[in-house]
Amino acid sequence: MSRLAFIGGTGVYDPGILQNISSHTIETPYGTASYESGFFGDREIIFLARHGVHHTIPPHRINYRANIYALKMLDVTAVVSTTAVGSLNPDYKPGDLVLVDQFIDMTKSRIGTFFDGERYGVAHLDMTHPYCETLRQAVLAAGKEAGITIHPHGTYICTEGPRFETPAEIRAFRMWGADVVGMTNAPECQLAREAEICYATISMVTNFAAGISKTELTHKEVVDCMAQNISSFRKIITILSGSYDPDTDCVCRHAAAAFGGFHL
């Protein structure tokens, strides 16, 4: 049975809306992944806390391949993730939601593919539209139904972390066209595409980035902003849990067809 999954980022450590929740671990060829399953009505939903339930895993040490592979093993066909981001765009203010549609990968040490010449050989997948448009439209519709404004476009630049960026880096990123900056969307996004899973990201702006913000950045302000605005995530997730059909066909489900598909 196809399932919908949510990946919670900083400040989103539990599914909140689910009933009969149980915690699990699952072994994958890439390591162990932990997740929770619960029910929204009669639908089983999977929830995965990207940083661990106590925020113990820094962004550069997250086992992205194990997480995405585990979701594939669990028959997840669509993932909505949340991320906390800094804003480089004056129109995207703290507390705003941004449904990103492009990314720039500035990470340095992460394994970003299943097609590494070993288990799955070599493949080169198209990323013209990195995020699933079918799922993005479902998120926008859910936001509209909930009365929540979501910026429908944005470019996410992903840095290695765990440190925040320097003002010089932010100036460069702005010239490249980045709107928001975070530390986790790559390689998660491209791994989902390789695994033929629909994937969309809702980013919460928690602060203006270094050099734009009038104060020095702290992790506390990120967590505090997420806590103040988490209800927006939960409203959208609640609507999606009831309205989105995880059996919906989509080009994402056939992304690796030219290479024989992605099989467990």
pTM over 0.75: yes
State the DSSP code for 253: G
pLDDT of the residue at 10: 65
pLDDT of the residue at 15: 66
**Is the pLDDT at 144 greater than 90, yes or no?**
yes
Say how far apart CA 200 and CA 260 lie, in whole Å.
24
pLDDT in tens, 55-81: 789 999 999 999 999 999 999 999 999
**Preceding omega of 187 cis (within 30 degrees of 0):** yes
Please list, residue by residue across 214-242, b when 16 or more beta carbons sit within 10 angstroms of its beta carbon and e when fewer do: eeebeeeebeebbeebbebbebbbbbbbe
DSSP bridge pairs for 35: 24
Q: Average the pLDDT over 107-112 and give the result.
A: 94
Out of 7-11, 154-158, 207-211, give the one with best mean pLDDT.
Answer: 154-158
pLDDT of the residue at 52: 81
pLDDT of the residue at 199: 98
User: Which residues make Cβ contacts (< 8 Å) with residue 184, sequence separation at least 6?
Assistant: 9, 50, 59, 62, 83, 158
Kindly state the percentage of the chain with pLDDT values over 90. Answer: 73
pLDDT of the residue at 213: 76
Out of 2-16, 50-64, 226-240, give the one with best mean pLDDT.
Answer: 50-64
pLDDT in tens, 150-169: 999 999 999 999 999 999 99
pLDDT in tens, 12-55: 656 677 788 899 999 999 999 999 999 988 889 999 989 887 77
Say how far apart CA 6 and CA 200 lie, in whole Å.
10
Say how far apart CA 148 and CA 236 lie, in whole Å.
8
